Amino acid sequence: MKKVYCAKDPLMIGHLRNVLDTFGIQCVIKNLDLSTAAGELPLIDCWPELWVVDDEKSAKAKAILKKTLAPLASVKKPWLCGACGEKIEGQFSECWKCGRDRSGKSADRLSRSVTGSVRNR
């Protein structure tokens, strides 16, 4: 067995174990309940650890975890709205000012939903 990841958050360790499981990589979580010993032991030694059962799959597991934990390319940099020139933070897909998306398409869905809800009387 080889350790492939260690984190303070046990939920993250569980999530990453599930990710590796979808790729057919069997894992074991160690130190899940060791947080009660924090103070008697160094904190980092009490963090949950993710171990791969098959040593030959550890390199593949590390590569999968690296890709899983990497930020999305679209989130890394801000972008400029092509319609109004507003600078938008990278995690947003539509301009807050004019409603157009990254590709410059109009937000027709908003106008359709408003006009579609008005009934002729």
The type of residue at 54 is: D
d(CA 121, CA 115): 14
**Does residue 71 have a pLDDT over 70?**
yes
3-state secondary structure (DSSP) of residue 94: strand
Q: What is the pLDDT of residue 43?
A: 77
The pLDDT-based confidence of 109 (bands split at 50, 70, 90) is: low
Q: What is the pLDDT of residue 76?
A: 67
- The mean predicted confidence, pLDDT, of the chain is 84
Tell me the pLDDT tens digit for each residue of 31-57: 888 777 777 777 778 899 999 999 999
Answer yes or no: is pLDDT of 121 > 90. Answer: no
Query: Average pLDDT for residues 48-72, to the nearest whole number?
Result: 93
Q: Would the pLDDT of 4 be above 90?
A: yes
Q: What is the DSSP string of 11-65?
A: HHHHHHHHHHHHTT--EEEESTTGGGGBTTB-GGGGS-EEEESSGGGHHHHHHHH
* Range of weakest confidence among 5-14, 52-61, 78-87, 95-104: 95-104
Domain definitions of the chain by residue range: 2-69, 74-117
pTM: 0.60
CATH architecture assigned to 2-69: 2-Layer Sandwich (3.30)
Residue 23's pLDDT is 96
